[in-house]
Amino acid sequence: MASAMFGGGLVSQAVYVRDGESIEITLAADGPMVTAMSAMFSNAMALSAMGKVSRIGQHKAVTDEDGEMRALIARRVLVSVSGDAGPETKAAYFEAIDLDALAEF
């Protein structure tokens, strides 16, 4: 079902629950949604309109008003961390992902 939401391509999704809070991590690669996001991530004005821009290592990430964090890795893998956990928890999960390894995917 997650693949259909992203218009195809490769999609992997996991949900983690701890102390009553949930975190959902989605990785999407090589699909139309990722291609559309690539255009937004390469345009500084469009990216800043999506939310607060930060860096996780060498990679740009954006956090929207709902606290969802996204990064586009190597212009073909979209990483998304969302859920009802607080922003610090989401950031910790996001930073635990080996983004450099995803760039080699």
For residue 73, the domain's CATH number is 3.30.200
Q: What is the pLDDT of residue 3?
A: 47
Reduced to 3 states (helix: H, G, I; strand: E, B; else coil), residue 51 is: coil
pLDDT value at residue 5: 53
Let me know if 9 is exposed, middle or buried by CB neighbors in 10 A (0-12, 13-18, 19+).
middle
**Whether 81 contacts 25, CB under 8 Å:** yes
pLDDT value of residue 7: 64
- Its pTM stands at 0.85
* Number of domains the chain is built from: 1
Q: Residue 1: what pLDDT? A: 45
- Residue 31: the pLDDT is 87
For the chain, which ranges sit under pLDDT 70?
1-7
Q: Is 71 exposed, middle or buried (0-12, 13-18, 19+ CB in 10 A)?
A: buried
pLDDT value for 6 = 52
Structural domain including 9 reads 2-103
Query: Phi/psi at 37 (nearest 5 deg)?
Result: -70, -30
- For every residue of 62-73, DSSP letters joined together read EE-TT--EEEEE
Which tokens hold the place of 93? 């999960």
